[in-house]
Structure 1
Amino acid sequence: MSRTLVIGDIHGGLRALHQIMERAKVSTKDTLIFLGDYVDGWSESPQVLDYLMNLSTKQPCIFIRGNHDELLLDWLIGNTKNFDEKMWFKHGGEATIIAYASVSDKKKKQHIDFLKSLQDYYLDEQNRLFIHAGFTNMNGVDYEYFPKLFYWDRTLWEAALALDASISKDSFLYPKRLTLYNEIYIGHTPVTRIEQTIPVQKACVWNVDTGAAFKGPLTIMDVDTKEFWQSEPLNTLYFNEKGRN
């Protein structure tokens, strides 16, 4: 039986990715939807991209663009005019730069092509939206004025998090953005910020970033049954590294 499985932010944690694939018993019949931020944090960002590219030759995979993936792409192609390298370095880029010191130009070109191919979002036949961060246009993703917000926005999650559960969807007070899609799956803002380490649902939004960049686990979840599997906390898998801590 095939499943649709969504995966949260990996941030260079290949060991954790191996764990969740094993623990979820992923088969080639499963469709995998990766929510972005494959890099920056732990030491295996290039290896994570290699793994994902190879995986896509074996089974259906959908790769969403994260903000860290866009930062890496800019760095690799030298598009640093409006690029705060010091800030990127501080937020996980240091480990990525070090890791790429031993990557060949040929491999870098393959990674550039992969990063350019990432999708801003994916909307399935059941009106379920998969996106790294969010969107701001009240009419939905097709009307977004600023596409970069697909992988930088935090207001969608903040709106869902702050929403009074007693407000009816029919109320004029209910955020219109939260009525457009049956479910929205995001990463970007780790749920460890609200002291959680498992996927969190608020309104129609499921946040699957369980803090793998820091001291949380990596998560894979079945979008139909909501069953999920997790790795060990990343700081225990990379005990001699700091990640984004």
Structure 2
Amino acid sequence: MSRTLVIGDIHGGLRALHQIIERAKVTTNDTLIFLGDYVDGWSQSPQVLDYLIQLGEKQNCIFIKGNHDELLLEWLEKSKDNREWYKHGGEATVLAYASITEATKMKHIAFLKSLENYYLDDKNRLFVHAGFTNMNGIAYEYFPKMFCWDRTLWETALSLNEDLEKTSWFYPRRLTLYDEIYIGHTPVTRIGQTIPIKKACIWNVDTGAAFKGPLTIMDIDTKEFWQSEPLNELYATEKGRN
């Protein structure tokens, strides 16, 4: 039986990625949808990209672009010196790339350029790293960078009165357009959680792997999920983004 599995933000945690692939018993029949932020935080960002490239050659994978992936691409292509990026996991990535060959860097650049802004399946389920801002949906987004930088979609869902009817004039239009929306970007650890959280139609699958949370993979049909050990335990000598 084939499944569609969605994976939250990895942030350089290859050990955690190996764990969830094993714990979910992923096979080549499964479709894997990665929500972005493959890099920055833990020390294995280049190795994560190598693994994802190889995985994509074996089975159906959909790779969404995250904001950290965009920042890495800017650095690899333009050597853009971004001190703010360094503070948010970029320094670990720069150090990790010191031992990476130019040929591998070029392969990573090609992969990063191939990342999708979003994926909309045939059941009107949207997969996007962060969100979107246009009230008419993804096809009308004026600012494509918002697909990997926006936080207002999740903040809107968090602040929504759960008693408000979806048909109400006051119900946010952005939350009526898609049957389900899967995001990462804003870790649920900010609201004291370490498992996937649903608010309105949004499933947030970023369970804090960049910090002290686990990495998560979830079956989008059954909502069963599997998690790694907390990343700070898998990389006990590192700080990640803590």
**TM bucket normalised to smaller:** over 0.9
Q: Deviations over 1:7-29 (max 9, x none)?
A: 00000000000000000000000
Q: Does 1:93 align with 2:74?
A: no
Instruction: Letter of the 1:189 partner, please give it.
Output: T
1:15 is matched with 15
Distance 1:23 1:161 in 2: 30
Deviation at 1:122, TM superposition (A): 0.1
Given the two structures, how large is their TM-score scaled by the length of structure 2? 0.99
Distance 2:9 2:148 in 1: 12
Given the two structures, how large is their TM-score scaled by the length of structure 1? 0.98
Distance 1:87 1:234 in 2: 23
Q: Deviations over 1:154-176 (max 9, x none)?
A: 00000001000000011011000
Deviation at 1:94, TM superposition (A): 0.7
Instruction: Letter of the 1:106 partner, please give it.
Output: A
1:73 is matched with 73
Distance 2:78 2:167 in 1: 49
1:114 is matched with 111
Deviation at 1:45, TM superposition (A): 0.1
Q: Deviations over 1:32-63 (max 9, x none)?
A: 00000000000000000000000001100000
Q: Does 1:225 align with 2:222?
A: yes
SS in 1 for 2:9: coil
Q: Deviations over 1:50-91 (max 9, x none)?
A: 0000000110000000000000000000163xx6x1110000
1:244 is matched with 241
Q: Does 1:168 align with 2:165?
A: yes
Distance 1:174 1:227 in 2: 29
Instruction: Letter of the 1:133 partner, please give it.
Output: A
1:216 is matched with 213
**Structure-to-structure mapping, 1:13-92, within 5 angstroms:** 13-78=13-78, 80=80, 85-92=82-89
Distance 1:227 1:63 in 2: 21
Distance 1:170 1:43 in 2: 47
Q: CA RMSD in A?
A: 0.6
Distance 2:58 2:107 in 1: 18
Q: Does 1:190 align with 2:163?
A: no
Distance 1:79 1:96 in 2: 13
SS in 2 for 1:76: helix
Task: Report sequence identity in percent.
Answer: 76
Q: Deviations over 1:121-172 (max 9, x none)?
A: 0000000000000000000000000000000000000000100000001101
Instruction: Letter of the 2:215 partner, please give it.
Output: L
Structure 2 alignment gaps of length 5 or more: none
User: Where in structure 1 do 4 or more consecutive aligned residues deviate above 2 Å?
Assistant: none
Instruction: Letter of the 1:211 partner, please give it.
Output: G
Structure 1 alignment gaps of length 5 or more: none
Distance 2:233 2:226 in 1: 17
Report the count of equivalent residues: 242
Q: Does 1:105 align with 2:102?
A: yes
**Structure-to-structure mapping, 1:150-165, within 5 angstroms:** 150-165=147-162
Distance 1:204 1:16 in 2: 27
SS in 1 for 2:149: coil
